[in-house]
Structure 1
Amino acid sequence: MPHVLVLNASYEPLGVVPLRRALVLVLENKAVCLEESGAFLHSATVTVPAPSVVRLKRFVRVPYRGPVPLTRRALFARDGGRCMYCGAVATSVDHVIPRSRGGLHAWDNVVASCRRCNHVKADRHLVELGWRLRHKPAPPTGLAWRIIGTGHRDPRWLPYLQPYGAEDAMARIDGISA
């Protein structure tokens, strides 16, 4: 089922919801459709264009959500789907400082890696192997990462996410797809 980007009344991205939920918001006059997906939804009496981006009519106060959660999908998006050791297509997650040696499961210690590098590195430090990271791991910043980290994306969302740091993230994700 397709997903829809939901914006606050101030155009701040709030989240991604299933198409059915977005359509209910529009039909109940709680949201306005800003972008259409090109598809149409039919009922017995009405044909409605399927939304891709909706904006709420009333402002919703969102409490502070803290840092972006560390998920596999968000990690692969941050690293562009590439191994941080050799640059090959990443298929697994690796701890730079192994957990068996006191490393934490945190953004600055977790990277995407290919199966081969993950197997060769095992529970050793990079210094022991003479390896270097392609980029220093860091937590992603910007509100757009909450949306992009879900894995649901649509090119029509980019203009609404750009002010919140989406350009870099979308470019990295497009690198995964290519």
Structure 2
Amino acid sequence: MRTLVLNAGYEPLAVVSFRRALILVMNDKATVIEHDDRDPVLGIDGVYDRPAVIVLTRYVRIPNVRRVPVTRRGVLRRDAHRCAYCGKAATTIDHVLPRSRGGSNSWENLVACCLRCNNAKSDHTPQEMGWALRWAPQPPRGAHWTVRGTERTDPSWEPYLTLAA
């Protein structure tokens, strides 16, 4: 069981284990704002609801820029496993400007691509092939990308994750 942790300003910070969340609540470092419907936990000091979403009692300062690292899996996830050139199911990634021509490994230069388009494009640019990108590649945004562990969300987390997007 996992728990979403919100900062004192209700912005998503992380996803932690049920045990870690319960320790934060028992030590009065967090309060439960959404709880699981299962049986409560009995502690020495009292009865505690099983936390699904907790909010910290003190604000935790986080760095301004949370950069999402560029990975093959991340590019495929961002593009919903669809080829940026033909729209079919994508299994590989492609450099829009090939690396041999100075293309970088950045969110703006990488797209999901099917094997057929990737092989056909080879070391060319889309313009040289007469192709157009179906969407402009850009860095991903939203809490689903900056908060670790939110790939598989709990339905009770949705209102708090959409506020941050």
TM-score by length of 1: 0.74
Instruction: Give the superposition deviation at 1:8.
Output: 0.4
Contact 2:4–2:52 (Cα < 8 Å) also in 1: yes
Instruction: Give the superposition deviation at 1:111.
Output: 1.2
User: Structure 1, residues 142-165: CA drift from partner, whole Å, max 9, x if none?
Assistant: 455302786342332221122222
Task: Supply the AA of the counterpart residue of 1:5.
Answer: L
* Percent identity of equivalent pairs: 48
Considering only CA atoms, is the larger Rg found in Structure 1 or Structure 2? 2
Aligned counterpart, 2:9: 10
Task: Supply the AA of the counterpart residue of 1:162.
Answer: T
Pairs within 5 Å for 1:1-178:
2-39=1-38, 49-143=49-143, 145-147=145-147, 151-165=151-165
Contact 1:3–1:152 (Cα < 8 Å) also in 2: no
Instruction: Give the superposition deviation at 1:44.
Output: 9.8
Change (3 A) 1:118 1:12: same
Tell me the secondary structure at the aligned position of residue 147 of structure 2: helix
Range that drifts further, 23-32 or 127-136: 23-32
TM-score by length of 2: 0.79
Query: Which has a greater percent of helix?
Result: 1
Q: Distance in 2 between matches of 1:39 and 1:72?
A: 38
The number of residue pairs the alignment matches comes to: 164
Contact 1:40–1:50 (Cα < 8 Å) also in 2: yes
**Structure 2, unpaired ranges of 5+:** none
**Structure 1, unpaired ranges of 5+:** 166-178
Change (3 A) 1:129 1:61: same
Contact 2:32–2:49 (Cα < 8 Å) also in 1: no
The two structures, once aligned, show a CA RMSD in angstroms of 2.9
Tell me the secondary structure at the aligned position of residue 24 of structure 2: helix
Q: Distance in 2 between matches of 1:122 and 1:37?
A: 51
Contact 1:95–1:105 (Cα < 8 Å) also in 2: yes
Contact 1:144–1:164 (Cα < 8 Å) also in 2: no
Instruction: Give the superposition deviation at 1:14.
Output: 1.2
Task: Supply the AA of the counterpart residue of 2:33.
Answer: L
Range that drifts further, 103-112 or 63-72: 63-72
